[in-house]
Amino acid sequence: MSWRARVGRRLGSRGAAFWYFVGPFLAGLVMFTYVPVAWSAFLSFFDARNTVTPAAEDFVGFANFASMLTDANFLRSLWTFTLFAAIIVPVTFAASLGLALAVNRVRVARAFFRSVFFLPFACSYVLASLVWKMSIFTGVHYGLVNTVLGWFGVGPIAWLNGNDPPWFWLVIATLRLWIQCGFYMILFIAALQQIPEHLYEAAYVDGAKPGRQTFWHITLPGLRATSVAVLMLVLIQAYQAFDEFWNLLPNSGNVPYGRTPLVYLFHTSLGTVQDLGRGSAGALILALLIALVTLFQGKVLGFGKPEGR
């Protein structure tokens, strides 16, 4: 067999075709994800200030981890996440499920409504933050929300100044809901279409009324796996909140409960001090916390278990 035939046979094999498609993606994943993560883990054991290549004598062991775990500002940022997650996780779940139930019942232009609610997911958080800040929730009389409130005799509200009451939570929550609800709505719609129709027919024959009874005893149990996945994804995304806090609250460090873990780590690593060692240690602590909470949530909610168990 000639060399050309051997090369052609090798190029035509399934294994080679697999690596032709996966290879570029895998190379990018290793270069831009795994290598930075590994280097960040390496920096977390060094006194790496204003440098990404610390010397051997800068090795400090677990001192950066101990410093972050006793840092009041870092711990306060974790409480900020807890408050943010307590608001956004249940509201996102209920809103996306409600949209899915409503759109799934539409008989006319169903694809149109799916697209309309899903399109915000393609919008960046930075762009949405600017729209929310400069148009909808502007803290002056010509903002959209303040204009509507003015029709009812309510004066203009400074939404993003961090005073009591903390109106900025309403701004941040509505922004995130607008962006992510459409994505989770699509997941719920896909799950709704997998529930056998004969279950509803049998329930109607047995005297169950359409609405609350069928929802609690047929629809919701049929959505268990998707519901658990949605709750886990929303919680993980809440941990990674950064763009809306950074763009809506430029003085987030001075706003009560306005600094998330990623915002604080950004200030630590790329602020005036540029302490990359402590920032890397905090990032690893946050990653470990996300993994533990996700595993615990999956265990409690039964993620991966077969239906009916």
Residue 268 lies in a domain: yes
| Alpha-carbon span 168 to 150, nearest angstrom | 19
Burial class (CB in 10 A: 0-12, 13-18, 19+), 25: exposed
Residue 248 counted as domain residue: yes
In 3D space, the residue among 53, 73, 37 whose CA is nearest the CA of residue 271 turns out to be 73
What pLDDT is stored for residue 94 in this prediction? 93
Q: What is the pLDDT along the chain (309 residues), one digit of tens a residue?
A: 555 555 555 555 666 777 778 888 889 889 988 998 899 899 999 888 888 888 888 888 899 999 998 988 888 888 888 888 888 999 999 999 999 998 888 878 778 888 889 999 988 888 898 888 888 888 666 788 888 888 888 878 888 776 666 788 888 889 999 999 999 999 999 999 888 888 887 878 777 777 777 888 888 888 888 888 898 889 888 888 888 888 887 665 556 566 778 888 888 888 777 888 898 999 899 888 888 888 887 777 766 565 544
Does residue 221 lie within any of the structural domains?
yes
* Residue 74 lies inside a defined structural domain of this protein: yes
**Domains contained in the chain, number:** 1
Quote the pLDDT of residue 295.
Answer: 83
CB contact at 8 A, 127 and 178: no
Q: Judge whether 219 lies within some domain.
A: yes
Count the Cβ atoms, other than its own, within 10 Å of residue 298. Answer: 16
Q: Report yes or no: 192 and 101 within 8 Å, Cβ to Cβ.
A: yes
Distance separating alpha carbons of residues 88 and 94, to the nearest angstrom: 10
pLDDT for position 292: 87
CATH number at residue 177: 1.10.3720.10
Shortest CA distance to 42 belongs to which of 309, 288, 276?
Answer: 276
What's the one-letter identity of residue 269? S
For residue 132, the SS3 value is: helix
- Burial 166-205, CB ≥16 within 10 A → b, else e: bbbbebbbbbbbbbbbbbbbbbbbebbeeeeeeeeeebee
Each residue's pLDDT tens digit, 133-149: 888 888 666 788 888 88
Instruction: Report if residue 1 sits inside a domain.
Output: no
Q: Does any domain span residue 35? A: no
Q: What is the pTM of this model?
A: 0.80
Q: Which residues pair with 275 in a beta bridge?
A: 49
Nearest to 159 by CA among 235, 35, 248, 236: 248
Contact 44, 284 (CB under 8 A): yes
Cβ–Cβ < 8 Å for 203, 218: yes
Q: Give 137's Cβ-side CA count (13 Å radius).
A: 20
Q: Tell me the per-residue pLDDT of 157-216, one tens digit each, with 9 for 90 and over.
A: 888 776 666 788 888 889 999 999 999 999 999 999 888 888 887 878 777 777 777 888
What single DSSP character describes residue 133? Answer: I
Show the domain range for 132: 65-301
Q: Which residues contact 308 (CB under 8 A, 6 or more apart)?
A: none
Query: Would you say residue 15 lies in a domain?
Result: no
Q: Phi then psi for 251, rounded to 5 degrees?
A: -105, 45
